[in-house]
Structure 1
Amino acid sequence: MIRKILHVDMDAFYASVEQRDNPAYRGKPIIVGGPPDSRGVVCAASYEARKFGVRSAMPCSQAARLCPSGIFVTPRFEAYRKVSSKIREIFLEYTDLVEMLSLDEAFLDVTQNKKNIPYASQVAKEIREKIFEETQLTASAGVSINKFLAKIATDQNKPNGMTIVRPEQAEQFIDSLDVSVFPGIGKVTLKKMHALGIKKGKDLKAKSLEILDQNFGKSGRWFYAVCRGLDDRQVEPYRERKSLGAESTFQKDLENSTDIFRELSDIAEELERRLLQKPFPGKTITLKVKFSDFTLKTRSLTEDYSFLDKNELYRIGSKLLEEFILGSGKSIFPIRLLGLSLSHPEASSKNSQIKSEDEEDLFPSLF
């Protein structure tokens, strides 16, 4: 049976909610994040702001330079979660196979749908219309036979659009794509692909599995499959994020404590940026340290509140790092890797606790 997969993505979600709730913001370049003179990052930008080159994850200071007329708005995650819950309710009217990727994005398997609608494109059309009717917000959608094709299709006609890639169109569609739009291909991988003469989907398909394995490791097999339209991943309705983290491996092992704590500050800032993109109510923070001899150590602390701010992440991370300096019984230097992650506490307790774990497989798997 050919599957019918939808990918639905809200348009400039956080910024659109702000424009909906505040009429004075409509038609204006709205930047969710800030303030502009902070070290924070943009977590969303309206389409009016995007015309100036403002993008999510960009430093707020850079966004302010690109868009001097931009209006910086403090994120209201509770409001965004409320709208997200309403959107999910609409999805569940059509299928129980809903995989929420974030507050504003989801995969749906509508091969067998609750309303017995024969065409996936009609399901997508109804969902988008209902979202607008109940939230006054627009959504874009991709419709195809698997997750890979549906997700890429969504971006072809944003905002407030829909793209359908039928089975007989898949090969031609992929062949014509720039590989830069393939999920999993970032700046480093893209540069490597260009060096190999890979710019379009058809160029990627021309490379053998052996060449892709040699140059891209495990990802090579993924690239080999998806450029042929092969993706058998199922829509996972009960997928739950268990951790969220950030880490950095240093080109040269760090031996100066000033450098180490500076890197920890940068990692805390990166983790805050990821939290802005995909809010995660983690109450356990874990510090990961890998030494030059590849020995791995972790320290964890659980509080009765969620960590959301880079300053708090850095404060707790520093406290945990001092555990290595003061309580490890040996010098912590040199260090080749540092990481911070958030997860849910293993046991409910209102008392803070510090734990030490030396097993790498206990560290959150997102790293």
Structure 2
Amino acid sequence: MVRWLYLDLNSFFASCEQQESPELRGKPVAVVPMMANTTAVLAASYEAKALGIKTGTLVGDAKRMCPGLQLVKSRHKTYIQYHQKIKEVLESCIPIHSVCSVDEFACELTGSQQNLEVATALAMKIKNEVRERVGECMTSSIGLAPNMLLAKMATDMQKPNGFITIEPEELPKRLFPLKLRDIPGIGPKMEQRLNQKGVTTMEQLLGMNEKQMYGLWGSLVGSRYYYLLKGENLLVPRQKSQSISHQHVLPPDQRSWEGALGVAQKLLSKTAIRMRKENFLTRRLSLSVKFMNHYEKFEKSLKVQETQDTALLLSHLNRFFTEMPRKYKPLMVSVVLSDFQKSENHQFSFFENTKKEQLFGVVDKLNEKFGKDTVYLACFQDKKDVAPTAIAFSRIPELEE
């Protein structure tokens, strides 16, 4: 019996480009944030992956690895449109439980759908519907398993265009050939931590009891992994947002103090809009600037009185930049708002300008109704086109962003 179906679109961003442009089909394609050798590949087609090109590969290196590589500048709006089309197709076949990322969906199977033959037929129907209604380049890997975690792991076991089932009676041996990093949530640091504690293989990890797993993580996370990897159908509650951030690699013509400031201001504005949409006020503003030498970094953080006021936050950001050294050219800018308070729990202060706070909420609604940048601060007059919305990974941006 299987309880979850997980859909993972293969090389989604590159596949969207190949679907849009038939001349790219069958060729190595790399989606990039800008046409510069110093930037990194955001996504690669399977033809490019076969040559060793992957997310994070420097464009200059990727060109040397594949002289015929087709570079395509990322198009946020196009990928979100394909996301919406696939979502509509999937919903016509089965209710979606979770939109896990721009190219991943989880569906809970109920009733007769939990029968393996019925679930298999459903998976094949979804694959065919996506191909026929969205495009022939939009292949996917589907995993069927007792819980969402295992279903997601199954999608990574066969790519591209894969279909893998994991049944309860196959556990834990079915997972033995996998690597620790194949478990969602285990990254380089956690893998190193497990290795330091003597756990280097999946078989060693799965041979532990719950108490030992708890000790490895030092929290209930270890206990949850213990039960999930054994096939228990646990639903782990999602954590509330603890921070909202935006980052941007500067194009060559903006790698200056003034260029970095303009990009940071735009990123802060976008971050503040998202914060207001989630009904938060922030109590901390942070800035990070990485420099071209890849070693130096400028970081600044400030605790502020809880606010939604973009203008006030911009004044703090501008002061940050007066302290930033100008010895090296900036390469990447990151802005983070954190330490949130829900608007309904906001404590009124006699020192705050409530009308000004409300003004930015009104501006957000006007832009939402009449279009992006219908109303904006005067300081953004020459910066409306800087830091365009980047390719979407875990968060699904609105088309208007």
Q: Write the letter of the residue equivalent to 2:206.
A: K
Instruction: Give % identity.
Output: 25
Matched, 1:222 2:218: no
Match of residue 288, structure 1, among 263, 285, 290: 285
Counterpart-to-counterpart distance in 2, 1:134 and 1:42 = 29
CA contact (8 A) 2:40 2:56 kept: yes
User: How well do the aligned residues superpose, as a CA RMSD in angstroms?
Assistant: 4.3
How many residue pairs were aligned? 301
Q: Write the letter of the residue equivalent to 1:23.
A: P
CA shift, 1:169, in A, is 1.4
Unaligned runs of 5+ in 2: 248-256, 276-281, 288-300, 323-333, 341-357, 365-374, 378-394, 396-401
Counterpart-to-counterpart distance in 2, 1:43 and 1:324 = 29
CA contact (8 A) 2:243 2:336 kept: no
What's 1:52 paired with?
51
Counterpart-to-counterpart distance in 2, 1:46 and 1:317 = 40
Counterpart-to-counterpart distance in 2, 1:51 and 1:325 = 43
Counterpart-to-counterpart distance in 2, 1:170 and 1:44 = 33
What's 1:109 paired with?
108
What's 2:19 paired with?
20
Counterpart-to-counterpart distance in 2, 1:121 and 1:282 = 44
CA contact (8 A) 2:197 2:216 kept: no
Deviates more, 1:220-229 or 1:25-34: 220-229
What's 1:347 paired with?
361
CA contact (8 A) 1:32 1:74 kept: yes
Q: Write the letter of the residue equivalent to 2:102.
A: L
3-state DSSP of counterpart to 1:233: coil
CA shift, 1:84, in A, is 1.5
CA contact (8 A) 2:89 2:133 kept: no
CA contact (8 A) 1:34 1:72 kept: no
Matched, 1:245 2:245: yes
Unaligned runs of 5+ in 1: 248-260, 273-279, 304-315, 327-337, 354-365
Q: Write the letter of the residue equivalent to 2:273.
A: K
What's 1:321 paired with?
317
What's 1:155 paired with?
156
CA shift, 1:8, in A, is 0.5
3-state DSSP of counterpart to 2:8: strand
**Alpha-carbon spacing, 1:296–1:58, altered in 2? closer, same or farther (3 Å):** farther
Counterpart-to-counterpart distance in 2, 1:222 and 1:302 = 40
What's 1:100 paired with?
99
Kindly provide the CA deviation profile for residues 180-227 of structure 1, in whole angstroms up to 9, marking residues without a partner as x.
200111111112222333233221123344444444223323333333
Stretches of 4+ moved more than 6 A in 1? 239-243
Kindly provide the CA deviation profile for residues 108-128 of structure 1, in whole angstroms up to 9, marking residues without a partner as x.
1122489x9972111111100
Counterpart-to-counterpart distance in 2, 1:74 and 1:189 = 33
CA contact (8 A) 2:143 2:153 kept: yes
What's 1:78 paired with?
77
Counterpart-to-counterpart distance in 1, 2:202 and 2:168 = 16
TM-score if structure 2 supplies the norm length?
0.62
What's 1:127 paired with?
126
3-state DSSP of counterpart to 1:140: strand
**Alpha-carbon spacing, 1:241–1:195, altered in 2? closer, same or farther (3 Å):** closer
TM-score if structure 1 supplies the norm length?
0.67
What's 2:172 paired with?
171
Deviates more, 1:201-210 or 1:68-77: 201-210
3-state DSSP of counterpart to 1:82: helix
**Alpha-carbon spacing, 1:300–1:347, altered in 2? closer, same or farther (3 Å):** closer
CA shift, 1:321, in A, is 2.9
Matched, 1:190 2:187: no
3-state DSSP of counterpart to 1:14: helix
Counterpart-to-counterpart distance in 1, 2:46 and 2:336 = 33
**Alpha-carbon spacing, 1:317–1:62, altered in 2? closer, same or farther (3 Å):** farther
CA shift, 1:234, in A, is 7.2
**Alpha-carbon spacing, 1:289–1:187, altered in 2? closer, same or farther (3 Å):** same
Counterpart-to-counterpart distance in 1, 2:206 and 2:191 = 15
**Alpha-carbon spacing, 1:127–1:234, altered in 2? closer, same or farther (3 Å):** farther
3-state DSSP of counterpart to 1:224: helix
CA contact (8 A) 1:95 1:113 kept: no
What's 1:37 paired with?
36
